[in-house]
Structure 1
Amino acid sequence: MYRWLLLSYPRDYRREHGAEILETVHDTASTYPGVRVAANLVRHGLRARLGRPASRTVVLWATVFTVACGLFAASFGTWLTWLGSRPLDHDELAVAVSQLYPDKPVSQIDTDDPPSVFVIYGSPLSWSSASNLLLGDGGEYSLAGLGASFEQLPADNRPQVLAELLQRLRASGWEYTEPVYSNAYDCVPDDSRCDPATIPSDIAVYAQRGDDILEVSINDDNTTPKMSLALTRSTPWSAYPVGVIAFVLGALSGWCLFGWASRSLQGRHPLAQASTKLLFGFAMVLWWAPILLSTSLMLSHQLSEPHPRWHLPWEWLGQPAMSLAFLCGSLALALTLSLAALPHRAAAGRRRSRVAVVAPSSAGRRRWRP
């Protein structure tokens, strides 16, 4: 098992010190628990992958980059699982409508299946929609749904309409959340014409049955009250294990990539090192600013009202609403890696890597030192 754990060390390090590492590990494994020795071995192996052995900030920056890579990889993994989810069926929407309101005429109902799992402005994602993604409309990229609507609701008796809706949802086997009330429109608070008491409110009810999620909205604009239904899918069960596995793989790949770049930049000209640090810092700002901003906003929104389905992972990372920042950060990182990959003359004595302690020491026990 310990031989496999040596993969956490760089290849040249394993070739030079692999036998010595295993000898020391076998000596200490009889005294200390195997899990503790293995964790210590992996920890120092991952640290050996980073350049600048005496630096502590390199570990911090590697962690920042690693976590970001893991989050983006997890989002991509869950996106792939969504593509394999059960497609929406307009017949299911028609059945739901007939169960809830068999006595009411439908003014509009979707009769065609959605073109894809995710759409932007009703169309599948394509190169023609790249400008929308990058120039501020990325938030329109969302799950496809099927819709239906009713008109001619009694404007003066919306509580009765809501009570009837909840009763029919319960009778049809739907599990629904508490109604969510929101203003139908906003106005300037300091304006004398703005009276919050007179602003009509919209009502939203979320219901779930199996893997179907039904959002029922009761809109009131004081002229034509309207009820609309939107049918979407719940999160596939496979999204959770795939997301965890993708995060681990993405984080490990990010750590190894950062380690290779940091080792490659050792001994370079100071100007090259300064340029790569500047580019890397710029990229991390462009990656993490949307993540921190979106996470705080999404968490507040998620806790403020019920959700039968959590928002999609990439929305928590500010994607694709802020995809332009992500793209610019990725280009900066690509340039950083290109500079690290340029051939250079190794500094004298650089081939000898830092030796790390691989197991706790005790009196009379051998321990590695730099």
Structure 2
Amino acid sequence: MTAAAAGPERHYRRLLLAYPRGYRRRHGAEILATLLDMAEAGDGRLTAGQTVHLVACGIRQRFRLPLRILPVVAALLAAVLIGGFGGVAGNWLAWRTAPAVPSVAEAKALTSAMTDLSGPQTESWQTAMNGPGINTRVEGAGTYDAERVRDALTADGWQIDTFTEVTRQIVVNFGTPEESVVPGLGLEFRATREGVSMTGGSDTVFFEDVTTLLALNMTTDVTGAIVPMTIAGLVLGALGGWMLSAAVAYRMRTGGRRLWATVAAVVAITAAAVPAFVAYCEIYEILVYDTDNPNQYITYSLAEPIPAYLVMISVPVAVLALAATMLLAARRSGPEPIPASS
């Protein structure tokens, strides 16, 4: 081979990686010779259209299945199951690109600065769209000071959207003989900061000792990437599941331990069913989420009754069973058959 031909051949071999390994083993040399002849007949290289066609045919070859009902059913199940995991992964990646809510330490510091009270409590949570949120709450003996709240927000970089002072009539000692109504002052406000929204409220009760309670809820705003990346992950996961099933199906046809590979595949699909159901419940909540609602929220999911430990057990079982399927299917007893041509 001349040095001039070595370069194009290496390039064409890289293009042939689009085809399954077994197909390359059986037909790689023939296709490579044809490509070199085509390039020599032209200007020494393939056209862009020929290159795209070659790669597209290789990818299409990876999606082909043996012409039997069981591989088709297995491929459909794999596409559905892995598609669910892909959708959740896409959603997770989308939220990683969004601004983060304040940390626990930052939320506590802000709450204390707004009330001059120590020991605020915090709780991290997720919206129905899997967006991050954090709540803080503090209560104690204090004084009413709306300007202190406003100054603390401004100093921490928050842009105040609404800030309303209200007079309240608050019931104390409810349900006891000492029950009474006492005056109180309240604050209701909304603020934003770099893609994070806050809703907050404060009540100060003038009864015996002055008591102040302040609660904040901070959530990351929904970005335009959340739903598209969730759908993209779902589609890519489904395509990957189909391709994986096709590869395993052809290997199993020549494997020496076909029965055990089939058993392992059934175990993998069965174990993945529970976490996949949970994943699709999450995807449904993401796709129907009311992004116009000014307040982020949570909803009841059909996956709520499923214990978390069942999902945590099912995932590693499915992964191990899939790995066993791949290993058993890789034990060949003969040449790999050629995927059926369309």
TM-score range (shorter-chain normalised) is 0.5 to 0.7
Contact 1:74 1:250 in 2 (8 A): no
Q: Does 1:147 align with 2:157?
A: no
Contact 1:2 1:38 in 2 (8 A): no
Distance in 1 (alpha carbons) for counterparts of 2:202 and 2:212? 7
Counterpart position of 1:289: 277
**How many residues are matched?**
287
Q: Per-residue deviation at 1:245?
A: 9.9
Counterpart position of 2:178: none
Distance in 1 (alpha carbons) for counterparts of 2:311 and 2:285? 18
Q: Per-residue deviation at 1:91?
A: 6.0
Two-structure CA RMSD over aligned residues (Å): 6.1
Counterpart position of 1:37: 53
Contact 1:147 1:230 in 2 (8 A): yes
Distance in 2 (alpha carbons) for counterparts of 1:301 and 1:15? 49
Distance in 2 (alpha carbons) for counterparts of 1:335 and 1:345? 16
1:308-328: CA deviations, max 9, x gaps? 7x99xxx9998x974632531
Partner AA of 1:52 in structure 2: P
Distance in 2 (alpha carbons) for counterparts of 1:284 and 1:228? 41
Distance in 1 (alpha carbons) for counterparts of 2:274 and 2:188? 35
SS of residue matched to 2:215: strand
Distance in 1 (alpha carbons) for counterparts of 2:338 and 2:272? 28
1:99-126: CA deviations, max 9, x gaps? xx5xxx4444559xx9xxx979xxxxxx
Counterpart position of 2:184: none
Distance in 2 (alpha carbons) for counterparts of 1:243 and 1:77? 9
Counterpart position of 2:336: 351
Structure with more of its chain in strand, by fraction: 2
Structure 1, gaps ≥5 residues long: 121-138, 154-160, 180-202, 358-370
Q: Per-residue deviation at 1:290?
A: 0.8
Q: Which residue of the other structure, out of 294, 301, 305, is the alignment partner of 2:293? A: 305
Q: Per-residue deviation at 1:354?
A: 2.2
Contact 2:202 2:215 in 1 (8 A): yes
Q: Per-residue deviation at 1:209?
A: 0.9
User: Structure 1 10/281 Cα, relative in aligned 2: closer, same or farther at 3 Å?
Assistant: same
Q: Which residue of the other structure, out of 185, 192, 201, is the alignment partner of 1:208? A: 192
Counterpart position of 1:266: 253
SS of residue matched to 1:306: coil
SS of residue matched to 2:198: strand
Counterpart position of 1:341: 327
SS of residue matched to 2:253: coil
Contact 2:222 2:291 in 1 (8 A): no
Q: Per-residue deviation at 1:345?
A: 7.0
User: Structure 1 240/321 Cα, relative in aligned 2: closer, same or farther at 3 Å?
Assistant: farther
Q: Which residue of the other structure, out of 58, 66, 77, is the alignment partner of 1:52? A: 66
User: Structure 1 205/342 Cα, relative in aligned 2: closer, same or farther at 3 Å?
Assistant: farther
Counterpart position of 1:328: 314
Contact 2:12 2:35 in 1 (8 A): no
SS of residue matched to 1:147: strand
Which of the two has higher C-alpha Rg? 2
Q: Per-residue deviation at 1:210?
A: 1.8
1:165-190: CA deviations, max 9, x gaps? 99x9799752659x9xxxxxxxxxxx
Q: Which residue of the other structure, out of 71, 86, 101, is the alignment partner of 1:70? A: 86
Seq. identity, %: 19
For normalisation by structure 2, the TM-score amounts to 0.53
Distance in 2 (alpha carbons) for counterparts of 1:204 and 1:34? 65
User: Structure 1 307/30 Cα, relative in aligned 2: closer, same or farther at 3 Å?
Assistant: farther
